[in-house]
Chains A and B, each alone.
Chain A
Amino acid sequence: MNRLTLQPAARFSQMRRVQARQRVRMLAILGAILLAGVMLTLTLGQSFTPLTTVLRILGGAEVPGAGFTVRELRLPRAVISILTGACFGLGGIAFQTMLRNPLASPDIIGISTGASTGAVFAIVVFSMSGPAVSVVAIVAGLGVALLIYMLSWRQGVTGGRLILIGIGLAAMLQSVTAYLLMRAPSWTLQEALRWITGSVNGAQLDQALPLLIALLLFGGLLLSRSRDLETLRMGDDIAAGLGVRLATTRITIVISAVALVAFATAVSGPIAFVAFLSGPIASRLMAHRGSLLIPSALVGALLVLLGDYAGQFLLPARYPVGIVTGVLGAPYLVYLILRDNKSRGTL
């Protein structure tokens, strides 16, 4: 009798163990691909540098010829790509999970655009640079997020209204960004494209530290709420019933996600669709095995790293990463629109 009642529980715990093992395996695979990607971008560019040489250079050795390329060009680019990609991935999945809609990612509802407008405003109008730009970007991003939420409030917020209002605001903000860029004293196409579609051109290692701190701080905050975020997936009422404090959880998630997106945007511009794509890709890969936060961060990092590599070396001309991800993301958005009504809301 005892055996009969215990059996389902035992099977369940075994299933959980299998799932946990599969999850770790998938994360390991993602990590390995990311590592391989980093090695690829560090060794093979316009010229080939053997991996051993790269490792020696990273260890501090002076190698004539290759030293500059690896240390000053390839390494900063790879580091910044990974950090911004991870930030976008985390910010995206946090919004998508919280609002239970894959379309509600910061780059579609205008939050990245807001941060970008803020950054451009700070640079062009106030001649700011460095961390101050990030602060303005975050304030702008949070302001836009708050505005979208307030404007879409009408006896509650529905996903459709929130997304539409976000699109409307994004259109307005884009025209502001474009205007500021055109009025800027030094208009260059490459610089302008950074703020319109996103680019990691001219990445420098000293940009990495603030980005890393932001990633650890706000990413850590999100991870500490990861269980609540998973519960929110089931709906606000159920989550509240299960003991999630809705208001504090939401505020923490929104602030962390916006901060992540804004920090990344202040460095690389709003790299098109990375936040939008990372979550759903991670979700397919993990197939409902636990939290999607870390997988999305890894996928985001991979998207930016490889997208930038493809834009630099695999295409006939050199393109900023945002152009590559912009072309990649649009078909997925179309697919989401065409997809059957019934499965809406699930990632």
Chain B
Amino acid sequence: MLTCSQKPPTTQSSGVTAPHLRPATRTTQSRKKLSTRFAGGLLLLALLALALMLSVAFGAREVGWPEIIAALSGQVDTIGDAAVASRLPRTLLAVLAGAALGVSGGVMQGLTRNPLADPGLLGVNAGAALAIVIGIAWFGIDETTAYIWTAILGAGLAAVAVYAIASLARGGATPLRLALAGAATTAALSSLATAVILPRGDIGGLVQSWLVGGVGGATYEQITPVLPFLAAGFVITLLAARKLNLLALGDDTAAGLGEKVAVARAMSAVGAVLLCGPITAICGPIGFVGLVVPHACRLLVGGDYRWLLPFSALAGAVLLTLSDVFGRLVAHPSELDVGIVTAFIGAPVFIWIVRNRKVGSL
């Protein structure tokens, strides 16, 4: 009975896809694909606009149109104006963080050829947290730019270590190995970070800030130092997109096609870490965005990274902004940190991916 009910969709779907496989319709197919991409892009842009509006309009305090317009034009005369004005940097940060994490996750999935790769899963959060803690406790760093550099260093080292551990085993970095290596590294690094903090009562509050990631309380002063890093990250990853396409064919094929595999990998890795490191430094750990977004975009635009990465940026921004709005509405008048919301969206997607793909056993 069960198999019977499963059969018809299979035949039906093969009936649908069959015409596309005929060579004569290839141009129509690619034109159609282009139009899907175009429509998808428009849809995402519309969604982003909607998300921005919602993010400015909704929050702990209910405001009307006059206050929103006043705040957008720079007035902060009433409490309502001020409330809206405080939502602007937060919205900006949500957009930036979502775009950066989405692209970073896409690049990491391409780089590791692994469907489960994600900044959080690769130990980036714990690495950045440990680096910042050590920087503060031992080297006395206290300004945002220094935090960002330290976070990038920690994030990069952790990601490289996790990937190295997973790929040193015979048979390469399977999703399971990568997830386990990430879990082990995260456990060790967060234990170490706590060990550094515990003797120092003065910085104990730091633990709180990386337990759950969020964009609440963001200020423009916090965001400005991140911008150059993100800009560099976006440029580098977009330049690396073609290389990622070749890497997806396998190292040997990519090398055979004239690609310098090591350079391609290094370049994409640097780009990905430049994107997720600074975001982790100011927002804390926001998991699963980098995992979910590229997978969703693959359904929309296929596996070409030149399309996938820009779409991931857009979709990531939409996802994170909407998650933030949702977090504000669902726990009204308090709020749910966006890291919790994304974990609840992301974990089911993670499980769905695990169920639907053949994961190499350890």
Q: Using a CB–CB distance below 8 Å, which chain A residues touch chain B?
A: 103, 108, 151-152, 154, 158-161, 163-165, 167-172, 175-176, 178-179, 181-183, 187, 189, 192-193, 196-197, 272-273, 315-319, 322-323, 326-327, 329-331, 333-334, 336-341, 344
Q: How many residues of B contact A (CB 8 A)?
A: 52
Once A176-B340, A317-B199 are accepted as A-B contacts, the answer to whether A333 and B180 lie under 8 Å apart by CB is yes
On whether the beta carbons of A337 and B188 are closer than 8 Å, the reply is no
Are B361 and A158 in contact, CB atoms less than 8 angstroms apart?
yes
> What are some 29 contacts across the A-B interface (CB < 8 A)?
A160-B360, A161-B354, A163-B176, A163-B179, A163-B362, A164-B179, A168-B354, A171-B121, A171-B343, A171-B347, A175-B339, A181-B211, A182-B208, A273-B187, A315-B195, A317-B195, A319-B194, A323-B194, A323-B195, A326-B191, A327-B188, A327-B191, A327-B195, A330-B187, A333-B184, A337-B169, A337-B177, A338-B169, A344-B361
Chain B residues within an 8 Å CB radius of A337: 165-166, 169, 177, 180-181, 184, 362
B351 touches A165 (CB 8 A): yes
Known A-B contacts A171-B343, A326-B188; A160 and B361 likewise in contact (beta carbons under 8 Å): yes
**A159: B residues at CB distance < 8 A:** 361-362
Q: Are A319 and B195 in contact (CB under 8 A)?
A: yes
Take A179-B336, A333-B180 as given contacts and tell me if A164 and B354 are in contact as well, using a CB distance cutoff of 8 Å.
Answer: yes
B212 A339 Cβ-Cβ under 8 A:
no
Per-residue CB contact flags for chain B residues 337-362 toward chain A (1 = under 8 Å, else 0) read 10110011011001100110001111
A154 contacts B336, C-beta separation under 8 Å: no
Q: How far is the CA of A288 from the CA of B272 in the complex (A)?
A: 47
Across the interface, A175 reaches (CB within 8 A) one of B121, B169, B340, B359, namely B340
Whether the Cβ atoms of A338 and B165 lie closer than 8 Å is: yes
Taking a contact as CB atoms under 8 Å apart, the answer to whether A318 and B198 are in contact is: yes
* Chain B residue at minimal CB-CB distance from A107: B187
Is B237 positioned at the interface, with any CB of A under 8 Å from its CB? no
Secondary structure class of chain A's binding surface, majority of residues: helix
List chain A residues, Cβ under 8 A from B150.
none
Known contacts A272-B187, A330-B185; A319/B211 CB under 8 A: no
The listed residue (B120, B181, B354) touching A165 by CB distance below 8 A is B354
Is B116's beta carbon under 8 Å from chain A?
yes
Q: B184 touches which one: A171, A172, A330 (CB < 8 A)? A: A330
Q: Are B362 and A169 in contact (CB under 8 A)?
A: no
Contacting residue for A160 out of B169, B191, B208, B359, CB 8 A: B359
Q: B287: CB under 8 A from chain A?
A: yes
Residues on B with beta carbons closer than 8 Å to the beta carbon of A340: 170
Bound form: Cα–Cα A152–B340 in Å: 23
B212, A154: Cβ atoms under 8 Å? no
